[in-house]
Amino acid sequence: MKAFVVGITAALALSSISAPAAAQSSFEDQQRIQRAMEDCRIAYGVYAQAAMVRDAGGNPQDALRYILQLVSKNPEDQRPTEKMIKDVVNRAYFDEQFVRLSQDDFFSSSDAECGHARNFAQPNHKLKPLK
């Protein structure tokens, strides 16, 4: 499936070379949204893994080591930074809003928050409001 998506993306990229400026901008917006959706899924995955280690009785250092090992298998452009992972681990262990959330809570929230492009849409600043 991933090869199919990559093929589609490559075909769209080639076809957009001669596309009008509006279509080019639209394609760039779609790429930005797809990247934001992927970044969102990665972030929720890191939260879920931190919660899993926490709920299994591990300490923050265990969670950091475990997550760093997991993400090292990702392509480089899909790896969260170590600083981001540390921030997430600290939230999962010490932030009252996150301490109560389980791994499953993060995974189910990921679908709702990261699975819809409209969550990442931005206004077109080239357009002017009606008067």
Residue 80 lies in a domain: yes
Is it the case that residue 10 has pLDDT exceeding 80?
A: no
Q: What is the pLDDT of residue 13?
A: 42
Residue 98 lies in a domain: yes
Residue 128 lies in a domain: no
Residue 2 lies in a domain: no
Give the torsion through C-alpha atoms of 65, 71, 72, 78, to 10 deg.
-150
**Could you read off the pLDDT of 28-40 as tens digits, one per residue?**
888 888 889 988 9
Number of folded domains that form the chain? 1
Q: What is the pLDDT of residue 77?
A: 74
pTM for this entry: 0.69
Question: 74 is in which domain, residue-wise?
Answer: 43-116
Residue 59 lies in a domain: yes
